Structure 1
Amino acid sequence: MVLKYDSSGVLLWQRFFSGAGFTPDEGVCVVTDSKNNVIIGANYWNAQPPGGSDFAIFKYDPSGKLLWSETFDGPDHSADETEAILVSSADEIYLVGTTYSNFNGYDIAVLKYSDSGSLLWSKIHNDSLNSVDIAYSIISDNDNNIYVGGLSSGKMLILKMKPNGTIIRKIKQQYMSAEFMYKDQNSNFYVTGFGSQLNITGYRTIKYDSTGSIIWSNVYGGLDNLNNFPKSQAINHNGFVGVTGRSISSPLQYYDFATVMYDHNGSEIGSKRFGRPYFTEETAGCGFDSSGNLYVAGYYQPGGTSEDYCLIKYASAIGITPISVEIPSHFSLSQNYPNPFNPATKICFSIPAVETTRRVAILKIYDVLGNEVTTLVNQQLTPGTYSVDWDASNHPSGVYFYRLTAGEFIQTNKMILLK
Structure 2
Amino acid sequence: MNRIVIVGASAGGLATAEALRRFGYEGAITVLGDEPLLPYDRPPLSKQILTGEWQPDRLPLRGKDDIDALKLDLRPGTRATGLDVAARTVTLADGSRSAYDGLVVATGVRPRRLPGPEGVAGVHTLRTLDDALTLKARLLAGRRLVIVGAGFIGAEVAAVARGLGVDVTVLETAPVPMALAVGEHTGKWLARSHDDHGVQLRTEVSVAGVLAVGGEVTGVALADGSVIPADDVLIAIGSVPNTEWLESSGLTVDNGLVCDEFSAAAPGVYAVGDVARWHNPLFGTAMRIEHRTNAAEQGMAVARNLLAQEPGLRRPFAPVPYFWSDQYEMKIQAYGYLRGHDEAAVVEDDAPNGRLLVAYRTGDRLAGVLGVGIPPRTLRSWRALIAAGSPWAKALDTVAAA
TM over 0.5: no
**Greater relative CO, 1 or 2 (CA 8 Å, sep 6+):** 2
TM-score for the superposition, normalised by structure 1 = 0.25
The structure carrying a bigger helix percent of its residues is: 2
TM-score for the superposition, normalised by structure 2 = 0.26
The structure carrying a bigger strand percent of its residues is: 1
Q: Is the radius of gyration larger for structure 1 or structure 2?
A: 1
